Amino acid sequence: MSGESGAEGPKSGAGPETGAPVPGGRLEGKRVVLVNGARRKRNTYGLLRETAAFLEAEGALVEPLDLHAYAIGECLGCERCVRGAACPLRDDAEALMSRISSADGVVLASPVYMGAVTGRMKLFIDRTAAWFHRPVLVGKPSLVVATTAGSALSSTLAYLEGVAVQWGAVPAGRIGRTAQRLGERVSWREVARFIAALASPRERLSPGFGALMTYQVQRVLAEKVLENDRLHWREQGWADRTYYFDCRIGPAKRLAAGAFHALLSRRVEKTPEADLAGE
């Protein structure tokens, strides 16, 4: 591992195999959750372990969340969570969500199953519908990981990244392997952006085009569709901004985000609340 890390990587001998954070690193005090949608502890898990070693070598506390180890029921489709009420299902999803929302960064990982994420990963993502409206990972970076025999790698990575963005995260890397490249270990280059983002103050982050546009969609939904979200967005100080907080956004992106928001605002009608649940 140390041979691949390069000059700026973790110091050689810094604890990849120990599973414990190395004190004094620039990620000391940071907690990163690794959300794993794979049942087997094989390909995807292997990449997660190697990613974890880099994080631990920088001092981060890494918390694996193997979704198969938890009871996660299927979403009932009632949309109560979206309206700000508690989910009626009593299982482990809420505890998992609070571990994710309180972390400093998130890694989302899944093998490709039938061209997409595993059922277990999707089951969990469905349970986080409220986060698409009231994001909880604002200002925190995300890294996505996927493995596949051959197909759908980039679409699966893009899907996982899109989910993290809708949870409010700033995307900071993708790690993917097809069967031919499975032997290739995770490199420092693949985790460097995520580690830098975890170590930086959020004002130095730079949300990409996709994250900025997703923000405009969420903002218009909060303005026009759900009363509860409107209040939340105002309380959080998100309502009249280009992005959730001040950070590095170039003039072209700022202009595009403003134009997209204006267009969406004109297109989306104010929706009566009752229509949402088909009442």
Ligand X SMILES: Cc1cc2nc3c(=O)[nH]c(=O)nc-3n(C[C@H](O)[C@H](O)[C@H](O)COP(=O)(O)O)c2cc1C
Near ligand X by CB under 6 A: residue from 150, 183, 250, 278: 150
**Residue 37 lies near ligand X (rule: CB under 6 A):** no
DSSP string across 49-80: HHHHHHHHHTTPEEEEEEGGGS--PPP-S--T
- Given the rule CB under 6 A, which of 65-73, 105-113, 203-211, 251-259 is the region that contacts ligand X? 105-113
**CB pairs under 8 A, 24+ apart, for 69-77?**
70/95, 70/96, 72/96, 72/120, 72/123, 72/124, 72/127, 73/123, 73/127, 74/123, 74/126, 75/123, 75/126, 75/127, 75/129
Is 146 exposed, middle or buried, given 0-12, 13-18 or 19+ CB atoms closer than 10 A? buried
Q: What's the closest the beta carbon of residue 247 comes to ligand X, in angstroms?
A: 34
- Binding status of residue 24 toward ligand X by CB under 6 A: no
- Applying CB under 6 A, the span of 3-11, 57-65, 84-92, 146-154 interacting with ligand X comes to 146-154
38 makes contact with ligand X (CB under 6 A) = yes
Residue of 142, 148, 166, 218 interacting with ligand X (CB under 6 A): 148
CA distances from 93 to 128, 164, 203, 271 (A): 9, 17, 31, 29
Q: Candidates 9-17, 26-34, 150-158, 159-167 — which segment interacts with ligand X by CB under 6 A? A: 150-158
Q: Does 147 bind ligand X (CB under 6 A)?
A: yes
Specify the stretch interacting with ligand X by CB under 6 A; choose among 27-35, 54-62, 113-121, 247-255.
113-121
Residues at the contact surface with ligand X, assessed by CB under 6 A: 38, 40, 42-45, 111-115, 147-152
